[in-house]
Structure 1
Amino acid sequence: MQPITRAIGFGYLLICLLALLATAFIGPLGYAPLPLPIGPAQDPVVVTIWYGTEKKLWLEDAAQRFAATNPRVGNRPVQIVLRGIGSRDIALRSARQEFGVDGPPTVISPASSIWVEVAKSDWAALNPGSQPFIVDKALPLALTPLVVVAWKERAEVLWPSGPANFWQNLHDALANDEGWVGVARANGFTPGSPEYQRATLWGFVKFGHTSPLTSNSGAQALILMAYGYHGKVKGLTNVDALDSGFQQWLREIEMAVLEFGDSTGTFMTNMVQFGPSKYDMVLVYENLALENIESAQRRWGDIRIYYPPATMFSDHPYAILNAPWVTPEQRQAAEQFRDFLLSPPIQQIALDQYGFRPANPDVSIRTSEPSNPFNRYSVYGAMFDTPPLVETPSSDVVTTLLDLWRRQINR
């Protein structure tokens, strides 16, 4: 019996040795008692994404779904780490390697491509002669334009024929010392009309947008105001930004804004919570408007989405960094997650559940599904087709506008 016993013993040891070698090269096999998770082969490939918080819920949802697919690079699992940061901070801190507790990013995904260009410019200035900061081109993940959310009866006094002269009408209303009464009179409503009578109860025009220094939507608002004043949709220059007439016009708008918050979502939340006592209208992302408009309607009355005659998309670019701290394995894992985010099922979720326009052209926004928010909220002004888009200015022009706003408004 001893030879048989020895053979069984040697066989068992051989199986254990093979399992050990296999585990070291291709990961753990089977279940206990042989789960042998040893060696560097099991260390995860960590992809740290600094992202604009406007897409927080969608990204967190998608990251959970991605993890459920057991993604791997070779024999190593992929781990997605999400860090929600303001878009301007993403650009400046990543280029300046000011990582703090957030850790060095593998990917930056601010709300708009504006900030990718700012990051690239900063990196090139700080690292002359180095390789480009971004691997290839930053692909957009989801689209959402800037819109105004306003109480319907007030918007109809401000724009009785529709918001064709959007920015000038808004400027004149905010600069009017008589508030809504002056706006009603200027737009042809007589003292005996219902619109005029209601306007006597509304006080000054209350408009809100975020700070351009801390929020992407605030920076986009500043760009749209500059384009609106100069009556064009492309070719914005530093000369346009520094025009004395524009500076005075901008001051007259911004001095009437009660506060500049850091979060676009805060304005929409305040519209819902406090109604017209807080704001008559706010400039927000379309996806936030779609997400909140029904609850505001139920609480305070008729509210509508209005599209400026020209607007900007937040395209939520996904920029994989070509930085010294990013390994080839991390880039490969980042590409896997990017492709997952752009896959039709995840893009459909971005549309149906979170109100984003798909960046993948294979996913149509024009569906008859009741889950499509553009069908569900068309009664509140949601539109399939957006107005024309303005050209994204160069990073130099954006910097000039931000410096102007800091000097003239945010003293």
Structure 2
Amino acid sequence: MQPVTRAIGIGYLLICLLALLATAFIGPVGYAPFPLPIGPAQDPVVVTIWYGTEKKLWLEDAVQGFEATNPRVGNRPIKIVLRGIGSRELSLRAARQEFGGDGQPTVISPASSAWVEVARADWAALNPGSQPFTIDRPDQAMPLALTPLVVVAWKERADVLWPNGPVDFWQNLHEALNNSEGWVGVARERGFAPDSPEYQKARNWGFVKFGHTSPLTSNSGAQALILMAYGYHGKDKGLVSADILDPGFQQWLREVEMAVLEFGDSTGTFMTSMVQFGPSKYDLVIVYENLALENVEAAQRRWGDIRIYYPPATMFSDHPYAILNTPWVTPEQRQAAEKFRDFLLSPPIQEIAFLRYGFRPATTDVPMLTNDPSNPFNKYRAYGAQVDTPPLVETPSGEVVTTLLDLWRRQINR
């Protein structure tokens, strides 16, 4: 029996040795006692993504699906770490290397490419001669999902403000916000007779109540300022710092912004307020289209007719995915970040962003014109949702955006 026992023992030791060798080179093998990863080859490749919180739920769903595929770089598993941070904050902190407790980012994904441009400008000022982004296309980072800026308003009030539709969009809004008689003065200026139903209702509405987020903390607030600047100057591209410094524009902007009730930090807060408090809180607000699609039905059931309106020219929040080209990002992290980016742009994940969360797909592989009842543009067509958007304004340079924000900080947010 002794030779047999010795043979079994030797065989067992050989099996353990083979299992450990296999574990070191190709990953865990079999069950206990051999599941422990050995050596640095099994350390995960960690990809830390600083992202704008508007896409939080979609990204969290995507990370679960991605990690379920057991993604790897070589023999090492990939781990995605998400850090939700406001778009302006994350762009500034990344450029200034102010990491705090959020870790060094491998990728930044603000809500809009405008913040990538701001980060570029800040980085160039602090680090002359270096470039922080590995660019997948010549002029910008890769978009992940799209959503335009829209206005959500109570229909009967929008019909008084824009009786022929929102053609002279920004000028009409400017005039209404500065009408000393409030809604009844707006109704008179739009030609409604004193005995008309519109005029009689307007007598009870008070001043025009308009809201958008703070451009210092929120992407949608900054985009609202950009659209106002373009609207005032009557163009959709080529916005320069001289346009921002124009005294006429500065006075016009002050007259709009001083009538805004409050500047919140979150775009979602305005839609939540419209749903919770109805027209007693806001007559119209500037929000993202995907938030409008999520909430208009609930507001309609609670308070009556509400509609989505598209400005004559708008901006997409394109949620760029910018992989940093910095000393702390390793080649393995870049490869892992590219794998996750490709996963996010795959048709199944883009379809989830579209059908479940109301984002427009960033690729042409997911059709927007379908008969699917879950398609948000079918489901919410009666509320004003439309596939075709107005013309898009050009994203200004980081320097122009910074000048516009400095103006707002000096003259509005004192």
TM-score tier (shorter): over 0.9
Cα separation, 2, equivalents of 1:287 and 1:88: 20
Q: Classify the secondary structure of the residue corresponding to 2:78.
A: strand
In structure 2, the partner of 1:43 is 43
Q: Classify the secondary structure of the residue corresponding to 1:201.
A: coil
Residue 229 of structure 2 corresponds to residue 237 of structure 1: no
Q: Classify the secondary structure of the residue corresponding to 2:222.
A: helix
Listed one character per residue, the Cα deviations across residues 183-231 of structure 1 (whole Å, up to 9, x for unaligned) are 0000000100000000000000000000111110000000000000011
Listed one character per residue, the Cα deviations across residues 357-403 of structure 1 (whole Å, up to 9, x for unaligned) are 00011111111101100100000000010000001111111111111
Candidates 154, 173, 179, aligned match of 1:170? 173
Runs of 4+ in structure 1 displaced over 6 angstroms? none
Q: Is the 2:149–2:316 Cα contact (8 Å) retained in structure 1?
A: yes
In structure 1, the partner of 2:133 is 134
Listed one character per residue, the Cα deviations across residues 105-133 of structure 1 (whole Å, up to 9, x for unaligned) are 01000000011111112112211123x10
Residue 310 of structure 2 corresponds to residue 307 of structure 1: yes
In structure 2, the partner of 1:3 is 3
Q: Classify the secondary structure of the residue corresponding to 2:356.
A: helix
Candidates 193, 196, 217, aligned match of 2:196? 193
Per the TM alignment, residue 42 of structure 1 is displaced from its structure 2 partner at its CA by: 2.0
In structure 2, the partner of 1:325 is 328
Per the TM alignment, residue 57 of structure 1 is displaced from its structure 2 partner at its CA by: 0.8
Amino acid at match of 1:133: P
Q: Is the 2:49–2:83 Cα contact (8 Å) retained in structure 1?
A: yes
Q: Classify the secondary structure of the residue corresponding to 2:194.
A: coil
Per the TM alignment, residue 8 of structure 1 is displaced from its structure 2 partner at its CA by: 2.5
Listed one character per residue, the Cα deviations across residues 149-206 of structure 1 (whole Å, up to 9, x for unaligned) are 0000000000000001000000000010000000000000010000000000000000
Percent of residue pairs identical: 83
Listed one character per residue, the Cα deviations across residues 69-104 of structure 1 (whole Å, up to 9, x for unaligned) are 111111111111111100001110001010001111
Cα separation, 2, equivalents of 1:127 and 1:224: 31
Segments of 5+ residues of structure 1 without an aligned counterpart are none
Q: Is the 2:120–2:398 Cα contact (8 Å) retained in structure 1?
A: no
Residue 407 of structure 2 corresponds to residue 399 of structure 1: no
Candidates 150, 153, 156, aligned match of 2:153? 150
TM-score by length of 2: 0.98
TM-score by length of 1: 0.98
Q: Classify the secondary structure of the residue corresponding to 1:339.
A: helix
Cα separation, 2, equivalents of 1:157 and 1:43: 63
Per the TM alignment, residue 306 of structure 1 is displaced from its structure 2 partner at its CA by: 0.2
Q: Is the 2:146–2:318 Cα contact (8 Å) retained in structure 1?
A: yes
Q: Classify the secondary structure of the residue corresponding to 1:354.
A: coil
Amino acid at match of 2:28: P
In structure 2, the partner of 1:88 is 88
Cα separation, 2, equivalents of 1:146 and 1:295: 20
In structure 1, the partner of 2:289 is 286
Candidates 204, 207, 218, aligned match of 2:207? 204
In structure 1, the partner of 2:120 is 120
Q: Is the 2:119–2:398 Cα contact (8 Å) retained in structure 1?
A: no
In structure 2, the partner of 1:72 is 72
Listed one character per residue, the Cα deviations across residues 6-62 of structure 1 (whole Å, up to 9, x for unaligned) are 233222211111111111121110112321322222211111100001111111111
